[in-house]
Amino acid sequence: MTGSLKQESFVVVNEDSNRLIFINKADKQAHESCFTIDGVFNLDTGQDKLFLEHLQPLLVMVPLGYSISLLVCEGHHCGLQAKTKSFVQRVIESVFQETSSPENTAQSRQTISFVQIYADGTALDLLSPRNETLQVMDIPPLGLCGLLFTIITEVKVTGGHGFHRATVRILEFSGGDEQCYTDPFFTLSRASSAVGLPAEAGCFSWILKHLLEGNALTFLLLCLTLPDASGEEILSALSLTEQVRAIIKTVTPVHWDPTLEARKRRAVIRELRVKSFLNSQMEQDSVLIQLGKVIKELQVLKGQNWEKKEERSAYELKEDTSVEFKAGKQHQGSKLKFSLLKTRRQHLQEQHRLLIQQERQKIEKELACQNKISPDQKEALLWQKEKSLLVLHVEMLQKEQAEAERDLEELYQDYQHETEVQKDHILQVFQAYRRHAEEQTEALEQRYRKLLRESLQDAIILSAQNQQLRVQKELRYTERAIQTDPCP
């Protein structure tokens, strides 16, 4: 969004692509607000510059164990999704290219997840095998807060133990949150503030807080369609970028050895077990809670061994290949069946054509041998032979027609079966979509009822306060009148 933008009340002037002066034209005093940011780019023409100058230097550090959090916030949905998706796709491709480049000879592996985060606090991993019955829908689901794409890269340390572990998290979200706020950037603003999150904050706010303050290089791409954005939204967005930019943290690479970590957890378990025998009953409860937590961590660490991960990946790849082979085989089976039936009909037609040709040659030879009969007898014999040949031709055509009808009926049955399967799948998707929409509608209704009750309570309280103020005012007037009234 380079250059200047003029609206009815506001002008945004872009200076040297990293300092913005925001002027309020409606204000007679023309107050100016200056913001220092890393850059302002047009998503249509400036994606290459944005990627090469700001993101690529960060992605090069991923094989060294540095994690990256890319936050893509869309202020308005109109016209932005296609542009941001192409940019995100480029980032994902670059991450895989960095770890698989010829210069990088160390062993590496990637683990990916693609999570949809909903307004009701739930999340769904679309790449999990348990969710294979529902496919990714092209239409945006109701109540969808954001999409979190995670790439965990592990690179073996050459000549040492353990591996470098880096996590690239790409969070795409719009300005809205699990609640309806007048400020479209309320959630991001609350997550980036120094104040801790309230207890009622949803999981989406906690995810944002972790991405902004965790051990990762944070990159915020805040997108606005300026003709549609109001001056207040522009000011809010610019203030938010400075607020995120002001977050100070130390980012270090992660060198992780699951064997060493498991050894540490076992030592902690031994210490906690000794404490559980020596301490009092009240202290034992606290120790048991800590012990359960450490045991869970140890169970997770047991599955983080490099060789076990390789075995699990090979098994999952084998299962996925088997499923794809069955699906492809079923799809190819329909085509193969149609091709076989067509070839069989063509072969039958060719057999009939050769048989008729042989019969015709036989008739011609018989007529050539009949030299002693008269022309009338020869013509009558020719008609008789032609009639038998036509009857044979009709019989063969009837056989071909019956064969084609059988093939058509068989193909129709297959088509009907596939149609029923597709219909069941579509019904399943729309039932899930409708169920989710009903849940969101019910949640909105409960929220509005709660707001209505709170508004009524506030109105009652204000009415009581107003009544009390009126009574106090009347008392003051009465006291003042008594004081000014002369004595009789």
Cβ neighbours around 108 below 10 Å, total: 18
Rounded CA-CA distance 388/90 in Å is 74
Which fold would CATH assign to domain 40-255?
A: Kinesin (3.40.850)
Cβ neighbours around 154 below 10 Å, total: 24
**Whether the model pTM is above 0.85:** no
Name the residue with tokens 């069989």: 344
Q: For residues 253 and 204, which has the higher predicted lDDT (pLDDT)?
A: 253
Q: For 252-283, how does the pLDDT look when each residue is reduced to its tens digit (9 = 90+)? A: 888 877 788 888 888 888 888 887 777 766 67
Tokens of 141: 């689901």
Q: For residues 130 and 100, which has the higher predicted lDDT (pLDDT)?
A: 100
Rounded CA-CA distance 128/150 in Å is 13
Cβ neighbours around 256 below 10 Å, total: 15
Res 227: pLDDT: 63
Rounded CA-CA distance 19/33 in Å is 10
Of 140-144, 366-370, 372-376, 389-393, where does mean pLDDT reach its minimum? 140-144
Q: For 154-167, how does the pLDDT look when each residue is reduced to its tens digit (9 = 90+)? A: 888 776 677 788 88
- Report, as an integer, the average pLDDT of 374-379: 74
Rounded CA-CA distance 324/32 in Å is 60
Rounded CA-CA distance 61/236 in Å is 32
What pairing do the DSSP bridges indicate for beta strands 68-74 and 32-36? unpaired
Q: Which of 62-66, 110-114, 129-133, 174-178 has the highest average model confidence (pLDDT)?
A: 62-66
Of 29-43, 70-84, 211-225, 390-404, where does mean pLDDT reach its minimum? 29-43
Of 63-77, 125-139, 178-192, where does mean pLDDT reach its minimum? 125-139
Inform me whether the pLDDT recorded for 4 exceeds 70: no
Rounded CA-CA distance 196/199 in Å is 9
Rounded CA-CA distance 165/156 in Å is 9
Q: For residues 28 and 261, which has the higher predicted lDDT (pLDDT)?
A: 261
Res 397: pLDDT: 86
Q: For residue 23, is it left (φ>0), alpha (ψ between -120 and 50) or beta?
A: beta
Q: For 84-119, how does the pLDDT look when each residue is reduced to its tens digit (9 = 90+)? A: 788 888 888 888 887 766 666 667 778 888 888 777
Q: For residues 123 and 416, which has the higher predicted lDDT (pLDDT)?
A: 416
